[in-house]
Amino acid sequence: MTESYTPNQFINKINQDNPSSPTFDPLKTQELRQRIEDNKIQNGDILAQAEQQVLADEQRKQQEEYLNSPEAKIAKAEQEIQDMKAWLLTDQTYTPEEVDNIIDELLFVEYDKDTNEPVVWGNWWLNGLTSAEGLQLPESVGGNLWLESLTSAEGLQLPESVGGDLYLSSIESAEGLQLPETVGGGLWLNGLTSAEGLQLPETVGGYLYLDSLSPSDKQKLKELRPDLADKIL
């Protein structure tokens, strides 16, 4: 009587009868099992990588949310003030007592909901500086900013906004001069002898003092910026 086998039974019998021969696997079951195991490992790695990526993205999102928060921006502005103090002490233009007085003029840091930026309220008395190299100012200053001893704009990075007057009375050339977008008070540029390259702020609340410019240069500026024509002196 002929014995009957299922395909798997037949394969197992051949392999049992020939233990020293290569495994007989016409249905590719071993290969299939190996592929399944390989896929499990690979998919496990993919899932692990995806999970790590999700966690990294979530962490980045939380960091971005914090950095854009009022608390973080105020903390950054306060740190900038301390960095400024350290720079002033290193620069040695002022004595430590004078540096303390400069920093004490900065009353407080306040968050402006309209601009979504912190504002450093108070006045910056930096008239003794003859070089702006390395000078780091806050993005927004609420009071007056005095830099009357600077004769050049080289290395000068001004805030985007100055709430009070901006004194740059000794700067002789507009080369490299990047003025704030907004000056709430007057803009003192008495030392400029030429208007070449001068880009005026979008908004100036007070007068523009341009005493050393020729009448023709002043007229060109008035024609270029009719919105500020009545304020150019």
Q: What six digits make up the tokens of 14?
A: 């051949």
Domain ranges of the chain: 11-67, 73-231
- How do residues 166-198 score in pLDDT, each as one tens digit? 999 999 999 899 999 999 999 999 999 998 899
* Residue 41 neighbours by CB distance under 10 Å: 10
- How do residues 28-74 score in pLDDT, each as one tens digit? 666 667 776 776 666 667 776 777 787 777 778 877 887 788 888 88
C-alpha–C-alpha distance, residues 206 and 86, integer Å: 32
* pTM across the whole model: 0.69
C-alpha–C-alpha distance, residues 67 and 56, integer Å: 16
What lies within 8 Å, CB to CB, of 193 at 6+ separation is 172, 173, 212, 213
C-alpha–C-alpha distance, residues 189 and 100, integer Å: 28
For residue 119, CA distances in Å to 66, 83, 123, 152 come to: 18, 16, 12, 26
